[in-house]
Structure 1
Amino acid sequence: MNFFYVLNGKSLKQILLVVIAAFFTAWFLYMQSIVHLPAFSAKDGPKAIYKGEKDLALTFNIGWGDVKAEPILDILKEENVKSATFFLAGSWAERHPELVSRIVKEGYEIGILGYSYEDYTELEEDKIRRDLAKAQEAFRKLNIKDIKLVRAPTGHFDQKTLKVAERMGYTVVHWSVDSKDWTNPGVERIAENVSKAKKGEIVLLHASDSAKQTAKALPLILDDVKSKGLKLVSVSEMIANAETKTKEIK
């Protein structure tokens, strides 16, 4: 026996309206779930970099601890990695001048990860400015000048953050690939997360003590990068060598 479903024009119109309403409801919920997208800009205002067009940038955040940073630097040296970008909290840099000096001497780029661990989206513009200024002064005392890159300490930022950073001469940098190493999911999982990176990606890694598995995952990550024939560059080199991509944030 064959079954047939017959729809008249009125029924079809009703179903179509239900489908459209369901689509927009799902889209609204989805957009709510990604308030902090990994790349942002005002339409005509200051921009945050999250991705380039070619090459690959490894970035390391350091906010606290004195154990994990050195092994990561050792591996980068052993693997002959010449370019990487370290985003350092000003408070950490003050406490570890010898490690900051080593990062500079080995040719790696330094960006500012604020001074304190603050969510910039919860701060007024003046407090963001003061936090960045305090970090700026900390690096000045370490004789590190002309830093051009900033990353929001918690990774969350908004239009006011972008405006403050631009006024102070900084470019805000986010990421397009998150290693999730700070969750300590296992060495293989960290390497797997980063293996999704293609040309133009900015990869988020950590060299703080909370990321206990990053150093062991790093050789696997670097092997994968080599197998793909990707060139490692600093974020500044990526910005200079390729057209960057942005998305709007209100």
Structure 2
Amino acid sequence: MVDLRSIIVRFYSVLFVFISVCLFILLPGTSRVMEVSGVWPSPGIIYKGESGSALTFNITIGDESVRWLLETLEEKKIEKVAFFLDPAWVDRHPDLAEMIAEANVDVGIYDLHPSRYDKMTKKEMDDHISSLTSYFQEHELDPRYYRTKGDLPSVEVVKRLREQELLVVDFMIDDDMLIRGDQKVDGAVIALDVVNNLKAMEERWAKWEQALSASSDVKYVSILELLASSDSKIKLLE
């Protein structure tokens, strides 16, 4: 015969556990930042996904080499790339910035001096980031991403950038790693530095192309497509 009392006790035990879990999830202050596939533990810094390769270029110098790169990408029908631009370079080359805008490629801000944030208040950070974004927009550029040279930005800086809808992007493969061929390109954010000398740029491109062609399954995707290929997505930051 079924023990009714036992069933009731079990029912209320399960109900209690369910309510406890719900309360834990809904309690204020519960962290919404998770370690996400394709993101550094410091919240929201993208560097890889599951499939595809996100081709990105850091531009701090160069005029002829940048023009040549734009023409080469168009010739080879490589449309899904991201250009990370040093604001000082944009200031020096507004004509090339216009060409990049017309090429309809993804654009990011390349910050060579991330240590500037160390002594800033949150408001000063917000004002600085806003001024950078506005400056790019004055040149018809719509920056969606942000990258630093050297150290990764702090958690607080990442949060301030996300508040202004900029995703922080690092990389899994750089120039040397790509040429050495010791990393699988599928699933990687690849960061390549543009050089000033045109001949050197052509030689560097040839090495990049040879390394990439060695991977038969290389497929160029946008940074967002690379992130979307992961099982998890970036969570909202507290």
TM-score normalised to structure 2 length: 0.68
* Change over 3 Å in CA distance of 1:194–1:143 after alignment to 2: farther
Looking at structure 2, the residues matched to 244 and 97 of structure 1 have their Cα atoms a distance apart, in angstroms, of 38
Q: 1:118-137 maps to which residues of 2 (within 5 A)?
A: 118-119=114-115, 122-124=118-120, 125-137=122-134
Q: Is 1:173 the counterpart of 2:169 in the alignment?
A: yes
* Change over 3 Å in CA distance of 1:218–1:195 after alignment to 2: farther
Looking at structure 2, the residues matched to 151 and 91 of structure 1 have their Cα atoms a distance apart, in angstroms, of 15
* Change over 3 Å in CA distance of 1:174–1:191 after alignment to 2: closer
Aligned partner of 1:41 in structure 2 is 41
Aligned partner of 2:16 in structure 1 is none
Contact between 1:57 and 1:84, CA under 8 Å: does it hold in 2? yes
CA positional deviation for 1:179: 1.3
Aligned partner of 1:220 in structure 2 is 207
Aligned partner of 1:58 in structure 2 is 55
Q: CA RMSD in A?
A: 3.0
Q: Is 1:164 the counterpart of 2:175 in the alignment?
A: no
| Farther off after superposition, 210-219 or 68-77 | 210-219
Looking at structure 1, the residues matched to 86 and 104 of structure 2 have their Cα atoms a distance apart, in angstroms, of 19
CA positional deviation for 1:137: 1.2
Q: Is there any run of 5+ residues in structure 1 with no aligned partner, and where? A: 1-37, 181-189
Aligned partner of 1:6 in structure 2 is none
Contact between 1:89 and 1:135, CA under 8 Å: does it hold in 2? no
Contact between 2:53 and 2:220, CA under 8 Å: does it hold in 1? yes
Q: Is 1:77 the counterpart of 2:38 in the alignment?
A: no
Q: Is 1:239 the counterpart of 2:230 in the alignment?
A: no
* Change over 3 Å in CA distance of 1:73–1:113 after alignment to 2: same
Looking at structure 1, the residues matched to 101 and 231 of structure 2 have their Cα atoms a distance apart, in angstroms, of 27
CA positional deviation for 1:219: 3.0
Aligned partner of 2:28 in structure 1 is none
Looking at structure 1, the residues matched to 118 and 197 of structure 2 have their Cα atoms a distance apart, in angstroms, of 24
**Alignment partner of 2:145 out of 133, 142, 149:** 149
Contact between 1:113 and 1:150, CA under 8 Å: does it hold in 2? yes
Looking at structure 2, the residues matched to 174 and 235 of structure 1 have their Cα atoms a distance apart, in angstroms, of 11
4+ aligned runs moved over 6 Å, structure 1 = none
Aligned partner of 1:99 in structure 2 is 96
CA positional deviation for 1:173: 0.5
Looking at structure 1, the residues matched to 202 and 182 of structure 2 have their Cα atoms a distance apart, in angstroms, of 16
Measured against aligned partners, the alpha-carbon deviations of 1:113-170 in whole angstroms (never above 9, x if no partner) come to 24x634356443455434322221111112233x321112445312122111112221
Looking at structure 2, the residues matched to 40 and 98 of structure 1 have their Cα atoms a distance apart, in angstroms, of 35
* Change over 3 Å in CA distance of 1:224–1:153 after alignment to 2: closer
TM-score normalised to structure 1 length: 0.66
Contact between 1:84 and 1:234, CA under 8 Å: does it hold in 2? yes
- The one-letter code of the counterpart of 1:83 is K
Q: State the secondary structure of the residue aligned to 1:169.
A: coil
Contact between 2:39 and 2:47, CA under 8 Å: does it hold in 1? yes
Q: State the secondary structure of the residue aligned to 1:177.
A: coil
Looking at structure 2, the residues matched to 49 and 177 of structure 1 have their Cα atoms a distance apart, in angstroms, of 13
* Change over 3 Å in CA distance of 1:233–1:70 after alignment to 2: same
- The one-letter code of the counterpart of 2:227 is I
Aligned partner of 2:110 in structure 1 is 113
Contact between 2:87 and 2:109, CA under 8 Å: does it hold in 1? yes
* Change over 3 Å in CA distance of 1:144–1:118 after alignment to 2: same
Q: Which has the larger radius of gyration?
A: 2
Contact between 1:120 and 1:161, CA under 8 Å: does it hold in 2? no
